[in-house]
Amino acid sequence: MHSSSWRPNCVPCFFLLILSSFPNSFISLTQSKFAQLRVYPETTQDTFDETLLQSDSDVEFFIFDQDLDHFTYTPESYTKFRQRYAVDTRYWGGAEANSPILAYLGEETSMDTDLRAIGFLRENGPHFKALLVYMEHRYYGESMPFGSAKEALKNATAMGYFNTAQALADYAAILLHVKDKYAAKHSPIIVVGGSYGGMLAAWFRLKYPHIAIGALASSAPVLYFEDTVPKHGYYYIVTKIIKKTSVRCHKRIRKSWDEIDRVASQPNGLSFLSEKFKTCAPLNGSFDLKDFLDSVYAEAVQYNRHPNYPVTSICKAIDSESPRGKKKDLLGRIFAGVVAYIGNRSCYDTTMFSQPTNNNLAWRWQSCSELVMPIGHDKQDTLYQTMPYNISNYISECKSMYGVSPRPHWINTYYGGQDFKLILRRFGSNIIFSNGLSDPYSVGGVLEDISDTIVAIKTNGSHCLDLIFKTKDDPKWLVMQRQKEVKIIDSWISNYQKDLKDLKLNV
């Protein structure tokens, strides 16, 4: 295997994966409501600083000739595909000093997004004197088997090589290659990931402890699977945060669903709703609009960050006083909330969260194969109309699309889930599980210390806040959270260096 220097000709846009009920031509898991699982939201995809990519001469891009299949020995398994990774050497203390490597495990997006959005590595690189490595996940961005996204994503046969075990093995191969390339045999590796990438980071530490000495798993819902389903789900937190922000806002949103259904059932009702909400295309049914609004509220809560704090903006618009002599109707208030969040546009694309991009097509496969997260609208999720998760319908619809059934129990079988605390108390070590309790995915996260070295850091924050770039307005608790994570990683490196020294003295 070898790598070659490579620079991207263009920077693909970042798309947030929203796993809610997709259009009929894409996916329609209407009984199994899913939410986005990424570090950054769809509605901020245009705010990344392109200069972070274009001006960093110290960041080198490479191609690694990756094995298609790491686990079988058929002729097909030896097929190669071009997988991207990047290396930033500017802070590294060098191989002779056994200086560490911080490795970011790419999630369901292009690596270019990670370089623009993830600040933890770059901001802490000088402190650790670390070599920084970023890796792109197979079947995302430019790392497409079979030569193109069209071929890689065309059917279940092509995507059969697309799972978390293969992805982790990809990262293992690249990291060993990097250590060899930079003669960094004894440089300890710490893997970092957020959201789905956070799950990968935790699992990598458990599966490849000989490669990574520790993992920072931010907002990683590793317990949100069959057999380990949390008592309260994703939409319970969405409901809780909006109700906490404004009881009136909560009540109005809750009433709006029935009002949308009532209007839609009337003659020309869908046309009225399309005009009311300035949709870019005519609505096919009330579900189109409700699904769009569902995604707006869920994304706003999941990424409820400064300086905008979108939940406050939405509720402020929904609760705003009517002009004198006029009375705001309920749907008008709901639309005002949409405008407050997305901005003033000539029209609003109700499919903006579920466009059939390559990233979304790729994640559709992952969520219809092994990453089956049982998220629905339960009775306690009072912001919404009740629509519980239905595994039978989910399996049936996934099977109709791909001809193969999901394996909802496989994640817990392969990585462990049941009795997670008991097993990892003795088996695992050196993992930080960080979660913001205002993040709906925190319900599936590890929220309590498992041992002295598998620790949980909880804040009141939202999704993956500790990984994104710092700002001068960061709250004190976020500053302290990042400092605590750095201190823990320092201890891992220190212990590793001590062990290395002791073992060398005994040779």
Give residue for tokens 């959005």.
117
Length of the chain: 507
* Backbone angles phi and psi of 389, in degrees to 5: -65, 135
The residue from 67, 381, 439, 466 that is catalytic is 439
The closest alpha carbon to 443, from 231, 152, 134, belongs to 231
The whole-angstrom separation of Cα 328 and Cα 276 is 13
Q: Which helix or strand (DSSP H or E) is residue 5 part of?
A: strand 3-6
Q: Which two tokens stand for residue 421?
A: 């605390």
Distance separating alpha carbons of residues 118 and 209, to the nearest angstrom: 24
Q: How far is it, in rounded angstroms, from Cα 121 to Cα 357? A: 28
**131-135/101-105 β-pairing:** parallel
Tokens of residue 307, six digits:
């300086």
Distances from the Cα of 399 to the Cα of 27, 302, 402, 412, angstroms: 12, 30, 5, 21
Bridge partners (DSSP) listed for residue 216: 192, 432
Give Cβ neighbours of residue 138 (< 8 Å, ≥ 6 apart). Answer: 66, 81, 83, 145, 161, 162, 166, 167, 170
Is 499 an annotated catalytic residue? no
The C-alpha angle with vertex 224 and arms to 219 and 226, in degrees rounded to 5, equals: 165
Rounded to the nearest 5°, which phi and psi values hold at 483?
-65, -40
Of the candidates 360, 488, 465, 413, the residue with the CA atom closest to the CA atom of residue 34: 360
Catalytic entry in 137, 177, 377, 463 = 463
Residues 257 and 382 sit within 8 Å (Cβ to Cβ): no
In Å, what is the CA distance from 81 to each residue of 61, 135, 161, 177, 360? 16, 14, 12, 16, 21
Annotated catalytic residue within 3, 32, 99, 195 = 195
Active site residue 409: no
Q: d(Cα 12, Cα 225) in Å, to the nearest integer?
A: 31
Q: For residue 335, count CB atoms less than 10 angstroms from its CB and return exposed for 0-12, middle for 13-18, buried for 19 or more.
A: buried
Q: Is the separation of the CB atoms in 220 and 195 below 8 Å?
A: yes
CA–CA distance, 337 with 18 (Å, rounded to integer): 19
- Judge whether 463 counts as a catalytic residue: yes
Q: The tokens of 301 are what?
A: 């809560």
Q: Which residues are catalytic?
A: 195, 439, 463
